[in-house]
Amino acid sequence: MKHKLAAVALLTSLLSTAAWAGPEIVSGPGAEPECFAPWSADTKYMQWPAKEGPYKIAIVNGFVGNTWRIQMIKTAKAYAEDPAIKDKIAEFKVVSTGTDAPAQLGAIEDFINQGYDAIVTIAVAPDGFDRVIRLADKNNVVLVPFDNVLDTDAVMQVNEDQLAMGRTWAEFVLKELKAAGVTGGKVLEVRGLPGNSVDRDRSQGINEVFAADGGNWEMISVVGNWDDGTTQKVVADAIAVHGQFVAVVAQGGSNGVVQALKDAGHPWVPIAGESENGFRKAIAEYRDAGLKGISIGQSPGLVAIAMKAAISALEGNPMPQLISVPLPVADYTTLEDGKNFWSDLPDNFFTVNEFPPCGVNISGPAIMAKDESDVN
């Protein structure tokens, strides 16, 4: 019994210290609402005690090795040198831990121990960060997950609304199908990396809209891991098995979708996809042949907004707990070479990088064109 009491006492003391340190829940509105837009009307606001700058900021990335992540890291480095925030940063470090939860948690804890003020991270799993959140709060460190966020409302997070992205894709495809007089058929859904919150939310959004529609849609799902090569293979397989689809909704690896359709001689149908340059090139080239495409991107530039949000929080401004960055949407009617895609740049490059309302004006092509020494 005594043990039980001691455990309870410890737990309460832990809980109460957690309540003393860390952010306070306050009422809105927050700073720069045009940039840090709250996710919904119910989003609460958080406020940390103001700290004197300049700040030590670390980025703890997980997986590294695809174009998106490389573009993200380059954007982070370039943004840290941006005159608007350069003077507010005393130290800036970027590490990638690979897809390894203990290593990522360890890196975050190490930076907390080193006395960093803010840690920006792409979580390798939507869960399991309780310990580092507790430690961050205890030490008044601002932890900002973005892109792959956590299933918690205890930290400030930055993302695009993945559910809305899924819905927008599906709504666009339905609109184009209706316009072409198609009321039913097989729709191919290409999913992302399994076990991931982004994949889950996007897929949920897509399927919700199709299920709510009156049409006779049969959803066929394949897993493309957001990777061009894998996607091309699974789409080719799906075409071989099912013959023909009325539309394709792909979460990523959109270049692979286009290539597989081309190789199989599949007629052009409405396609929803990510923001790869190659996909946008293909839409521009084949839009008159029937490739009615929509391209919405998860921007690598999100990292800059997460950094900006971290600094704003350290300055003591009230911040929305969940910050929604507007979806960068382009479709076959709005694509323009040199503006939202680049015919002279590689296919696997991610087109959306800038967020003017936030003062993030680092254009993707400019970053990728520079070599490392220039970005430094």
Partner 1 sequence: MMGRLIAQNRAFAGALALFAALFVTYNLLHPRGFSSAVFVQNANEAVAIAFVAMAQTVPVLMRGLDLSVGAVMTLSACVASYLLTGSGLEISMGILAVLATGTAFGLMNGLIVVHGRLQPIIATLATGAIAIGLALILRPQPGGNVDGDLSWAMTNTVWDLADTYGIAGGGEAWWIRPFADIPMPLVLLFGVALLVWLPFKRTVTGRTVYAIGSAEGAAYVSGLPINRAKLAAFTLAGFFSACAGLYLALQTSTGNADTVQAGAYTLNSIAAVVLGGTALAGGIGGAIASIIGALILRVISFYFRILDIEPLLQPLIEGLVLLLAVSAGAWRTFAVKNRLELFR
Contact 87, 114 (CB under 8 A): no
Q: How far is CA 350 from CA 37, 46, 331, 364, in A?
A: 23, 32, 15, 7
Q: How far is the CB of 185 from partner 1 (least distance, A)?
A: 28
Phi-psi region at 329: left, alpha or beta (left = phi > 0; alpha = psi -120 to 50): beta
Residues 133-142: b if buried by 16+ CB within 10 A, e if exposed: bbbbbeeebb
115 or 267: CB nearest partner 1: 115
Q: How far is the CB of 222 from partner 1 (least distance, A)?
A: 16
109 or 208: CB nearest partner 1: 109
5 or 241: CB nearest partner 1: 5
Chain positions contacting partner 1, by CB under 8 A = 2-3, 5-7, 10-11, 14, 58-59, 61, 63-65, 70, 73-74, 77, 93-103, 105-107, 109-111, 113-115, 124-131, 151, 193-195, 200, 372, 376
Tokens for 171?
Answer: 């709504």
Q: How far is the CB of 150 from partner 1 (least distance, A)?
A: 10
CA angle, 292 then 295 then 299, to 5°: 175
111 or 332: CB nearest partner 1: 111
Q: How far is CA 182 from CA 23, 173, 177, 237, in A?
A: 52, 11, 5, 24
- Write down the residue that tokens 């479709």 correspond to: 331
With both helix axes pointing from N to C terminus, report the angle between 162-179 and 197-212 in degrees, rounded to the nearest 10.
30
108 or 239: CB nearest partner 1: 108
Q: How far is the CB of 278 from partner 1 (least distance, A)?
A: 22
| Cα separation, 198 vs 228, whole angstroms | 17
Contact 375, 367 (CB under 8 A): yes
47 or 66: CB nearest partner 1: 66
Q: How far is the CB of 372 from partner 1 (least distance, A)?
A: 6
Alpha helices in 145-270 (DSSP H): 162-179, 197-212, 228-242, 254-264
| Cα separation, 300 vs 274, whole angstroms | 12
Q: How far is the CB of 333 from partner 1 (least distance, A)?
A: 37
Contact 306, 246 (CB under 8 A): no
Q: How far is the CB of 125 from partner 1 (least distance, A)?
A: 5
64 or 329: CB nearest partner 1: 64
Residues 253-289: b if buried by 16+ CB within 10 A, e if exposed: bbbbbbbbbeeeebebbbbbbbbbbbbbbbbbebbee
Q: How far is the CB of 176 from partner 1 (least distance, A)?
A: 31
Q: How far is the CB of 338 from partner 1 (least distance, A)?
A: 27
44 or 134: CB nearest partner 1: 134
Contact 155, 145 (CB under 8 A): yes
Phi-psi region at 181: left, alpha or beta (left = phi > 0; alpha = psi -120 to 50): left
103 or 180: CB nearest partner 1: 103
